């Protein structure tokens, strides 16, 4: 039995408790569908890395498996699942290919984001096309100028993962009033056909995400395709009230915790590769014919496994907290600050685990034919996402612990 198989036995539980029974249900079905894609993803992972874009057939396979519909409403044919399901699905995908997992996760969660907009916008996106793929960049690097009926938006948005396959984009903008003063920070929904993609994603890792730059020049955005980030951060969404608990989930935690799923998958993949290799790989310049016989290697593998488990426990606890609170309304600021810090801490634990495993495996980990080098590149790139910077999360959480009333980020 491989490490992956062993881990699966106790990770995909209904309550997030390691060792608990795996219960059948929509979540387990979604995870099983994602796991079934692993051989296909592994087959094409190197190609996506080389070509700097996830192959079209992989994106189609993700769509066919329901990944992009995980968080869209049932009234549009979606699964209307929850954050924990998205986390488990993207972890399963991440075991095989970090870039494919990231693209699947980003489109799924940004589809959720589009469902926070007014109903007229939702109908434009999903009513017209239930298989719509929304991508996005939250950073407010665009400017919106008020005009009759809406806004004229121009800007450049970097790091738009999955850009080649998007049908819509939700991008950040500072909205100016008639006098040119900033009135609000918002996300604006724009059809992909009205945006230009610039090929700027030349990176060491997560190359297949094709996280290129979107450009808009004086694009008209009607008022119903505007979402105030300042209001959304406090759980105020302009969508109509319906019995759809998923869309009551807290804004910042949803958009941050989702980033950990692919990283957990990469950590699990690294552990599996290192453990399988240790059974037969010699430990050079020692008496050990197998790495597995070395106490030093045994300790490194154990430490790495515990770090990955720590990250998974933190992620599952926070995701379940967000899901459970969705029906009652947004989490309070202190709880969200705790989650923000925990997300960055979990990402750092995964990076440290992968580093330990590469130390144990040795220099051969960096051979182009060894998947560990791609795992290392992908994880170290993904974990540097602005939403996972540990220092910011610790500052946000530390201020709440010390009763320092200063907000340093809307993404909490």
Q: Angle 293-297-302 (CA atoms, 0-180°, nearest 5)?
A: 110
Mean pLDDT across the stretch 294-320?
98
- With 70 as the cut, is the pLDDT of residue 410 above it? yes
In angstroms, the CA 238 to CA 250 distance is 14
Which of 366, 312, 391, 346 has its CA nearest to residue 13?
A: 312
Q: From CA 136, how far away is CA 194, in angstroms rounded?
A: 14
Give start and end residues of each alpha helix (H) in 52-165: 56-64, 83-94, 98-114, 119-122
Residue 4's pLDDT band (boundaries 50, 70, 90)?
very low
Residues whose CB is less than 8 angstroms from the CB of residue 409 and which lie 6 or more positions away in sequence, other chains included:
340, 392, 396
Question: 194-209, pLDDT tens digit by residue?
Answer: 999 999 999 999 999 9
Side-chain-side CA neighbours of 18 within 13 Å: the count stands at: 12
Residue 331 DSSP label: P
pLDDT of res. 207: 98
pTM above 0.75, yes or no: yes
| 367 SS3 class | coil
Per-residue pLDDT of 136-172, as tens digits, reads: 999 999 999 999 999 999 999 999 999 999 999 999 9
List Cα–Cα distances, 263 to 103, 109, 120, 376, 385, in angstroms: 13, 16, 35, 10, 11
CA 190 to chain centre: 21
Over residues 333-342, mean pLDDT: 98
Strands 226-228 and 182-191: antiparallel
What is the pLDDT at residue 46?
Answer: 97
> What is the C-alpha to C-alpha distance for residues 198 and 156, in angstroms, rounded to an integer?
10
Q: What is the pLDDT of residue 117?
A: 98
Q: Which of 144, 145, 198 lies closest to 171, judged by CA?
A: 144
Does the structure show a pLDDT above 50 at 18?
A: no
Tokens 């396959």, residue located: 165
In whole angstroms, give the CA distance from residue 98 to residue 100: 6
pLDDT over threshold 60, residue 3: no
CA 399 to chain centre: 26
* pLDDT surpasses 60 at 40: yes
Q: How far is CA 284 from CA 60, 287, 290, in A?
A: 44, 8, 9
The answer to whether residues 208 and 45 touch, using CB atoms and an 8 Å cutoff, is: yes
**Cβ(92)–Cβ(27) below 8 Å:** no
Structure token digits, residue 23: 């219960």
- The angle formed by the CA atoms of residues 102, 187 and 255, to the nearest 5 degrees, is 35
Strand, helix or coil for residue 237: coil
What secondary structure does DSSP assign to 171-234, as a single string? Answer: EEEEEE-TTS-EEEEEEEEEEGGGSEEE-----SSSGGG--EEEEEEEEEEEGGGEEEHHHHTT
Phi and psi of 213, rounded to 5°?
-95, 130
Q: Are the C-beta atoms of 211 and 262 separated by less than 8 Å?
A: no
**Max Cα distance, the chain (Å):** 78
Residue 24 has pLDDT above 90, yes or no: no
pLDDT of 83 > 60? The answer is yes
Q: Which tokens go with 207? A: 């190359």
Supply the mean pLDDT for the chain: 93
Cα distance between residue 145 and residue 176, in whole Å: 5
pLDDT band of residue 128 (cuts 50, 70, 90) is very high
Q: Using CA atoms, how far apart are residues 62 and 206, in angstroms rounded to an integer?
A: 17
Rounded-to-integer distance, Cα 399 and Cα 404, Å: 5
The answer to whether residue 1 scores a pLDDT higher than 70 is no
């Amino acid at each position: 039995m491989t490490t992956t198989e062993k881990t699966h036995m106790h990770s995909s539980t209904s309550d997030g408790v390691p060792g608990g029974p795996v219960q059948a249900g929509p979540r387990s079905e979604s995870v099983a569908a994602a796991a079934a894609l692993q051989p296909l993803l592994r087959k094409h992972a190197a190609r996506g890395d080389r070509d700097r874009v996830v192959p079209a057939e992989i994106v189609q396979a993700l769509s066919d498996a329901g990944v992009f519909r995980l968080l869209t409403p049932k009234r549009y044919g979606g699964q209307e699942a929850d954050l924990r399901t998205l986390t488990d699905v993207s972890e399963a995908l991440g075991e095989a290919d970090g870039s494919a997992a990231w693209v699947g996760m980003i489109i799924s969660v940004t589809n959720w984001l589009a469902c926070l907009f007014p109903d007229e916008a939702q109908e434009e996106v999903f009513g017209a096309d239930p298989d719509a793929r929304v991508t996005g960049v939250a950073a407010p690097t665009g400017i919106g100028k008020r005009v009759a009926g809406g806004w004229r938006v121009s800007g450049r948005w970097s790091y738009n993962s999955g850009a080649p396959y998007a049908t819509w984009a939700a991008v950040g903008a500072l909205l100016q009033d008639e006098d040119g003063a900033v009135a609000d920070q918002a996300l604006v929904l724009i059809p992909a056909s009205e945006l230009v993609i610039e090929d700027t994603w030349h990176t060491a890792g997560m190359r297949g995400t094709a996280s290129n730059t979107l450009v808009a020049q004086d694009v008209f955005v009607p008022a119903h395709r505007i979402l105030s980030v300042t209001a959304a951060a406090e759980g105020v969404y302009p969508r109509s009230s319906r019995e759809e608990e998923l869309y009551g989930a807290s804004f910042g935690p949803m958009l941050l915790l989702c980033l950990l799923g692919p990283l957990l998958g990469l950590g699990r993949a690294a552990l599996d590769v290192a453990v399988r290799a240790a059974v037969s790989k010699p430990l050079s310049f020692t008496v050990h014919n197998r790495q597995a016989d070395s106490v030093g290697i045994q300790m490194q593998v154990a430490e790495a496994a515990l770090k990955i488990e720590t990250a998974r426990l933190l992620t599952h606890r926070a995701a379940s907290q967000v899901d459970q609170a969705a029906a009652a309304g947004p989490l309070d600021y202190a709880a969200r600050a705790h989650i923000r810090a925990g997300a960055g801490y979990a990402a750092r634990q995964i990076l440290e685990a992968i580093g330990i495993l590469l130390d144990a495996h040795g220099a051969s980990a960096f051979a182009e034919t060894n998947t560990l080098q791609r795992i290392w590149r992908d994880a170290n790139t993904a974990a540097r996402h602005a939403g996972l910077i540990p220092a910011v999360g610790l500052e946000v959480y530390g201020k709440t612990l010390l009763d320092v009333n200063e907000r340093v980020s809307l993404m909490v």
